Amino acid sequence: MQGIIEYLVSLNLPLLTEGTARFLVLLVVASIVAVVAPASLIILTWLERKIIARIQDRIGPNRAGPFGLLQAVADMIKMFTKEDITPARADRIVYNIAPGLAVFSSVMSFAVIPFAPGFVGTRLNVGLLYIVAVGGLGTLAILMAGWSSNNKYSLLGAFRSVAMLLTYEIPMVMMLVIVAMAAGSMSLADIVDAQRSMWYAVSMPVVFLVFFFAGIAEVGRSPFDLIEAESEIIAGFHTEYSGIKFGMFMIGEYVHMFALSFFSAVLFFGGWHIPFMDVTALPAPWAAIIGLIVLLVKVFFFVFVMMWFRGTLPRFRIDQLLDFGWKFLVPLSLVLLIGVAFVVKLFSPGSSAGIPVPPGPLSGLGIAGEVVGLLVVNLAIAGLAMAVVSALARRSRNKVLRAISAVEPPAAVTAQSKP
């Protein structure tokens, strides 16, 4: 990026100082990201329909264009031309802002993603916090939409989604903290660099799984798609929306899912790094191109996994969902946080984010020691969690069994037959 700026300055055009050149380049890059991210909707919806169709033993869209590729375009046209309805007693201003905010919040999160070596939107040293902060705006959009529609189903949908988002934000943020601890930085580019030798998904598989599940819940996709459980609350918070505004919520959702895939790839699967090859060492344009391709392959893998989930898993019930969040993921992530902090300290190489600190007692074992240590701690905690859960499940099952066996059938019948 610096190269482009220097080139522009060397043209010596009027008004084109270093500052304006930087501004222009950033503007162009930002616009590309802001346009491409929503445009990914076209490819993503097509992919989703095809994959789900395959899982359900159907063919999927195949009329519009080759392989039905233009199906999404047809859908878009339909959506744009539909009537835009605002309910009579809705709060007009809030009702109209909400869809925009939904798109805004998911597109904004792309600002900090490191796409390829040297191509990072913003090298924000608080990138991880930024992700969480911007994600909160999405919650706000849902609340605004649900409330302003003046519809009970919308309101219930908004309640559900906010309860869920708040629940799953906690384990997600804690996993981000763990990543920041391991990498010694909150900048996403630094985190990618820190995975040069080993992906975090390998050394910390449980951390990744918790992050990914919480992420799916944040995005509101199956099996956590309670927000729009049709059979219970129609379409949830966007029940009243139609036409382009409904489309914007859909865009927001898909972009959010796309962003989650990016974050999974960047934070846990080494971003542009691939095993046994140093992508950044390639000559100038190739490093960026190969890096981007590597990243996109990983991203689409996660997109596929999420669609696969949707085609395979049934939906959670709201109480199961909240129980799973509060009673399983939150305690698990607290234990993980402490465990990983312990290991990181144990193998600390004597400097953290460039600041000299006392090296850990096992720092002599180097990066390999740390990887093994993290893996052991992760697996141990996972084993412990499983043991606790199965013990609890056995106890509650026994309780039910006792309750069933305690009931004497004739007594129950007579009790019922009384007027």
Partner 1 sequence: MPIEIPTLNVIALAPQIVVVVTALVVMALDISLTDKRVVGYVSLLGLAAAAVVTFALLGGPAQAIQQMAVSDGYALVLNLVFIVTAALAILVALGYLDERELQHGEYYALLLFSTAGMMLMAAATDLIVVFMGLEIMSVALYILAAFNHRQVGSGEAGMKYFILGAFASAFFLYGVALLYGATGSTNLHAIGEWFSPDRGNLGDPLALVGLGLLLIGFAFKVAAVPFQWWTPDVYHGAPTSVTAFMSVGAKAAGFAALVRILMVSFDQAFTLDWQLVLAVLAVLTMTVGNIAALAQKDVKRMLAYSSVAHAGYILVGVVPATMTGVKGVLFYLMAYAFMNIGAFAVIAVLEHRDAIGTALSDYAGLSTRKPFLALAMAVFMFSLTGIPPFVGFWGKLYVFRAAVEANMSWLAVVGVINSAISAFYYLSVVVQMYMRTPTDETAAAPALRLSGPVVVTLALALVATVVLGLWPTPLVNLTALGIFG
Partner 2 sequence: MPNFDPSQIPLVSIVFWVMTVFTLGGALGVVTSRNLFHAALYLILSFFGVTGYYVLLSAGFLAMVQLMVYAGAIAILILFAIMFSRRPMAHESQANQQWWLSLLLALALFVVLVVVVGAVNWPVSDAAPAADTVTQLGVALLGSYLIPFEVVAVLLSVAMIGAIFLAREKTEAEE
Where on the chain is the footprint of partner 2 (CB under 8 A)?
15, 17, 19-20, 89, 91, 94, 124-126, 129-130, 132-137, 139-140, 143-144, 146-147, 150, 155, 158-159, 162, 166, 186, 353-355
Give the burial string for 79-109 (b: 16+ CB within 10 Å, else e). Answer: beeeeeebbeebbeeebebbbebbbbbbbbb
Segment contacting partner 1 by CB under 8 A, of 147-155, 191-199, 340-348, 354-362: 354-362
Query: Which 72-111 residues touch partner 1, going by CB under 8 A?
Result: none
**Which residues, other chains included, contact 203 with Cβ-Cβ below 8 Å and sequence gap of 6+?**
182, 370, 371, 374, 375, 378
Cite the beta strand spans of 167-296 per DSSP E: none
Q: Are 339 and 331 in contact (CB under 8 A)?
A: no
CA–CA separation, 100 vs 106, rounded Å?
10
Residue 262 binding: pick among partner 1, partner 2, none (C-beta 5-8 Å cut-off by kind): none
Q: Are 79 and 138 in contact (CB under 8 A)?
A: no
Q: Does 388 bind partner 1 (CB under 8 A)?
A: no
Least separation in angstroms between CB 172 and partner 1: 28
Residue 9, Cβ density class (10 Å: 0-12 exposed, 13-18 middle, ≥19 buried): middle
CA–CA separation, 258 vs 281, rounded Å?
28
Residue 356 binding: pick among partner 2, partner 1, none (C-beta 5-8 Å cut-off by kind): partner 1
Least separation in angstroms between CB 99 and partner 1: 35
Residue 220 binding: pick among partner 1, partner 2, none (C-beta 5-8 Å cut-off by kind): none
Q: What secondary structure letter does DSSP report for 204?
A: -
DSSP strand pairing (114-116 vs 119-120): antiparallel
Q: Smaller CB distance to partner 1: residue 344 or 377?
A: 344
Going from the C-alpha of 206 to that of each of 179, 215, 338, the distances in angstroms are: 12, 14, 14
Residue 358 binding: pick among partner 1, partner 2, none (C-beta 5-8 Å cut-off by kind): partner 1
Residue 17 binding: pick among partner 1, partner 2, none (C-beta 5-8 Å cut-off by kind): partner 2
Q: Does 358 bind partner 1 (CB under 8 A)?
A: yes
Least separation in angstroms between CB 33 and partner 2: 20
Least separation in angstroms between CB 381 and partner 2: 23
The tokens for 14 are 């009027």
Residue 267 binding: pick among partner 2, partner 1, none (C-beta 5-8 Å cut-off by kind): none
Q: Smaller CB distance to partner 2: residue 42 or 140?
A: 140
Exactly one of 355, 404, 406, 407 binds partner 1 (CB under 8 A); which one?
355
Q: Smaller CB distance to partner 1: residue 14 or 356?
A: 356
Least separation in angstroms between CB 349 and partner 1: 15
Paired strand residues for 356: 351
The tokens for 155 are 């309101």
Per-residue binding string, partner 1, 308-347, x by CB under 8 A, is ----------------------------------------
Least separation in angstroms between CB 319 and partner 1: 24
Going from the C-alpha of 169 to that of each of 47, 113, 144, 209, 226, the distances in angstroms are: 28, 19, 19, 14, 16
Residue 15 binding: pick among partner 2, partner 1, none (C-beta 5-8 Å cut-off by kind): partner 2
Cite the beta strand spans of 101-207 per DSSP E: 114-116, 119-120
- Residues in contact with partner 1 by CB under 8 A are 355-358
